[in-house]
Amino acid sequence: MQEHNIHILCTRPIEEDLVEQALLQNIRIDTISLIETEPIQSIEVQQEVELASIQIANIVFTSMNAVEAVTDLLDGAIPDWRIYCIGHATKELIDAYFGEDAIAGIADNAAELAEEILQDESIDEIIFFCGNKKREELSKRLQQNNINVNEIVVYQTHSISQSIDKKYDAVIFLVPVRQKVFLVKTV
């Protein structure tokens, strides 16, 4: 068995062909998830999504998890929404379900998305489908500019306690926005 000179821990699943390419370069990549997400399946969330679905509304998705949770609750219905989102993968999910014409704006991060939304001076309210551990930049920036933000928490993120006994040369933290990679070398 070939010995691998570099051993890396990745905190999110990655494509198998990338792992195989790394092996050819004498790099072994182990994947251990440190979080898990699950949609909130409650009558309250179902009712909030149903109420939003009958409105002509400006919608914000900042994660694929939120898109998946909402589209599952919509059960095939396609509301009349103008959708703003963060990231290429999130945009692809929105495009697949709602169609490309529903996408009103896209950005790489919350600050840029807030500026994109603020360019449309007719917007006075948005519905923000999010998780329980969202960041506050987007909502704060919009509220500072007199836009009412109706946050609907549609999924939860939980930490997974993991015991890692191996020594790694580096740790990769993947951020869902355009699958950016942050490599942290261990000491």
pLDDT > 70? residue 177: no
CB 25 within 8 A of CB 32: no
pLDDT computed for residue 3 by the predictor: 62
Q: What is the pLDDT of residue 79?
A: 97
Q: Write the pLDDT tens digit of every residue in 5-56.
A: 898 988 878 888 888 898 888 989 988 888 888 999 999 999 999 999 999 9
Q: What is the pLDDT of residue 187?
A: 44
The domains of the chain are located at 6-34+160-185, 37-156
When mean pLDDT is compared across 13-17, 111-115, 140-144, the lowest value belongs to: 13-17
Please tell me the predicted confidence (pLDDT) of residue 176.
52
- On average, the pLDDT of the chain sits at 88
Q: What is the pLDDT of residue 63?
A: 92
Per-position DSSP letters for the chain, written without gaps between them? -PPPSEEEEESS---HHHHHHHHHTTEEEEE---EEEEE---HHHHHHHHHHHTS-EEEEE-SHHHHHHHHHHHTT----EEEEEESHHHHHHHHHHH-GGGEEEEESSHHHHHHHHHT-TT--EEEEEEETT--SHHHHHHHHTT-EEEEEEEEEEEE------S--SEEEEEETGGGEEEEEE--
Provide the token pair at 66.
């939120």
Average pLDDT over residues 176-182: 44
Instruction: Average the pLDDT over 72-78 and give the result.
Output: 94
CATH architecture of the domain covering 37-156: 3-Layer(aba) Sandwich (3.40)
Mean pLDDT of 65-86: 96
Looking at residues 79-86, what average pLDDT do you find? 97
83, with CB counted inside 10 A (0-12, 13-18, 19+), is buried
Position 186 scores a pLDDT of 52
The per-residue pLDDT for 18 is 85
